[in-house]
Amino acid sequence: MKSILYSELDSDFLVQGLGMHKEEQGFFTGKIGRHEIELTSSPDTLKNIEETQVIYIGKAEPGPYREGDILMAGSDDLLDRAFHALDEMEQRGVVVGLSTEPDSYPMTLKREDLNQFTIEWKDKKVPYLCLFMGEPVNLEGQAKLVTIVRKVLND
């Protein structure tokens, strides 16, 4: 299965941490387990996708969570894999909502633009995982994100 990675952060840490290489067309690709991965820098790439899965890496403004927590939203299977990876790392993860509308999540990140994408992905049954880390994201945080992505895609 093909996986598209999109990062709001400088993506050099993903390229190095996931062993990606630059293609002639100028984008980065690689392979983890049975998953082909492609790094994109344009949110427009996340529209009209099918037969793929999306991993969105973002940053979260300080809020009602502990420093170093990984905040997540996503489809059930990928969230389960992410929680398994977090358990192995002895790291805490929190599932959040992305909409300001009332929902069943105790915490919400105000990400209406991303929420629209996730609604489209749900409708099309595109597996997705959104990982957020509170700002500022340091080297240790980047390493945690790479480890989670690697473990999620290796399962």
pLDDT digits (tens, 9 = 90+) for 89-100: 998 898 888 876
Task: Give the separation between CA 148 and CA 142, rounded to whole angstroms.
Answer: 10
Task: Give the separation between CA 142 and CA 43, rounded to whole angstroms.
Answer: 20
Percent of the chain with pLDDT over 90: 50
For residues 94-118, average pLDDT: 80
SS (H, E, C) the chain: CEEEEEECCCCHHHHHHCCCEECCCCCEEEEECCEEEEEECCHHHHCCCCCEEEEEEEEECCCCCCCCCEEEEECHHHHHHHHHHHHHHCCCEEECECCCCCCCCCCECCCHHHHHHHHHHHHHCCCEEEEEEECCCCHHHHHHHHHHHHHHHHC
Q: What is the pLDDT of residues 26-80, one digit of tens each?
A: 789 999 988 899 998 887 788 878 789 999 999 888 777 777 789 999 999 999 9
pLDDT for the residue numbered 17: 94
Query: pTM for the full model?
Result: 0.91
Structural domains in the chain plus CATH codes:
2-153 (3.40.50.1580)
pLDDT for the residue numbered 66: 78
C-beta of residue 3 within 8 angstroms of C-beta of residue 35: yes
For residues 83-90, average pLDDT: 94
Label residue 130 by pLDDT band (50, 70, 90). very high
Task: Give the separation between CA 138 and CA 41, rounded to whole angstroms.
Answer: 20
C-beta of residue 52 within 8 angstroms of C-beta of residue 2: yes
Residue 137 vs residue 48, higher pLDDT: 137
Tell me how far apart the 2 most distant CA atoms of the chain are, in Å. Answer: 46
